[in-house]
Amino acid sequence: MLELSRPHTFHLPIPGKLLFDRSEFASLTGLSLRTVSNLIAEGTIRVKRVGSRVLIPRHELLRFAEVAEATDNTR
C-alpha cells in the first residue's frame, strides 16, 4: 500500500517583536520593499500607523504567510 507522507512544514525564524516596519517585513517574507508597499496600499496587509511610521503587527505577518502558503498549494 502506498503511504502518503505529510508535506514538510517550515517555520519562519520570526523575532519576538510585536510590530515590524516595512523593511523588516520584506526581509522576513523575501518580498521587495516595493511589493510590501503595494500590498499595504491595496489593503492586503493591514498596518498600524504611529505618527508617520507604518508598522505591521506580528499577527499580520503570520496571516500573510498562511494566505500565501494556501495560495501556493493551489498551483
Half-sphere exposure of 8 (CA within 13 A, CB side): 2
Expressed as residue numbers, the domain containing 34 is 19-73
pLDDT in tens, 12-51: 567 788 999 999 999 999 999 999 999 999 999 999 999 9
Opening angle at CA 18, ends 42 and 45, nearest 5:
10
Any domain includes 61? yes
CA–CA gap between residue 6 and residue 19 (Å, rounded): 32
Q: Report the pLDDT value the prediction gives residue 2, as an integer from 0 to 100.
A: 47
pTM: 0.71
Count of domains for the chain: 1
44 near 35, Cβ under 8 Å? no
Residue 29 lies in a domain: yes
Residue 59 within a domain:
yes
Q: What integer pLDDT is reported at residue 73 of this predicted model?
A: 66
pLDDT value of position 74: 58
Inside any domain, residue 47: yes
- Answer yes or no: are the C-beta atoms of 1 and 33 closer than 8 Å: no
> CATH code at 46?
1.10.1660
